Amino acid sequence: MTVLAIIQARMGSTRLPGKILKQVNGKALLAYQLERVRQSKCIDRIVIATTIHQQDEQIVKFCEQHGVNYYRGSENDVLARYYQAAEQFDGDIIVRLTSDCPIIDPVIIDETIIYYKEHASEFDYVSNTIERTYPRGLDTEVFSKKALKKSYEKAILEKDREHVTAYMYSNPQIFRIGNISNTQDLGSHRWTVDTMEDFQLLEFILTNLYSEYQLFYMRDVIELLEKHPDWVQINAHVEQKKL
């Protein structure tokens, strides 16, 4: 059973265009994320799913420079882009990641994959986002290729085509949904990048914790923010865009 991680990525962003290639200390946010995803012990293959839009040539160039597979598909029908990427790169178990999560934790990715594998007879889809107890920015969704194919074939609403897994978790009568929870509720934290305030917080975190020799984890970020509680307020007012 091949575990395929698909990272959706594009340069277009209504609130912070080009955000995923913005740099901290001379390194793009997407490079930080890719480095961390590669630390997963459960993922067999990684592909970045971008669009055929001209501006996303920059992402193709990034992929070529960093030796990572890529797929180009529809900008708006992200579900189709995902399904076609899974077909081309032959994934049995799909891990959905988004490129706005540069400090995603590979241990949490693996815990989610392992939970899915151990409960594959019970669930079609497992994530740590149905009941949010992990910081936003550590989002991991794991589902079967079969579930992805069913969504691709049956989803017709625009929101379900744009958000890939919305059709799954919105239809518990069709898909068996599982949630993985953290032992502590850290759901109020926001470590994703969608605004300049988000970027400023991540810049502080990466500048203080990143080392090419030593990986940092969720607990390290929490401990850093406990020392600098004012940093949490930088993007505390930012609201996540609704489906």
Is residue 234 domain-resident?
A: no
Is residue 225 domain-resident?
A: no
- Whole-number pLDDT of residue 46: 98
- What is the CATH number for 25? 3.90.550.10
- Whole-number pLDDT of residue 242: 66
- Whole-number pLDDT of residue 243: 62
Question: How many independent structural domains does the chain possess?
Answer: 1
Q: Beta-strand (E) ranges in 19-170?
A: 23-24, 27-28, 45-51, 69-73, 93-98, 125-127, 141-144
Is residue 198 domain-resident?
A: no
Is residue 224 domain-resident?
A: no
Query: What pTM does this model have?
Result: 0.96
Is residue 210 domain-resident?
A: no
Q: Beta-strand (E) ranges in 74-138?
A: 93-98, 125-127
For the chain, the 3-state helix, strand and coil shares in percent, each to the nearest 5, are 40, 15, 45
Is residue 70 domain-resident?
A: yes
Rounded Cα distance between 199 and 190, Å, is 11
Is residue 148 domain-resident?
A: yes
- The one-digit pLDDT tens for each residue of the chain (243 residues) are 899 999 999 998 778 889 999 999 999 999 999 999 999 999 999 999 999 999 999 999 999 999 999 999 999 999 999 999 999 999 999 999 999 999 999 999 999 999 999 999 999 999 999 999 999 999 999 999 999 999 999 999 999 999 999 999 999 999 999 999 999 999 999 999 999 999 999 999 999 999 999 999 999 999 999 999 999 999 999 987 666
Rounded Cα distance between 24 and 86, Å, is 31
Range of the domain at 82: 3-187
Is residue 88 domain-resident?
A: yes
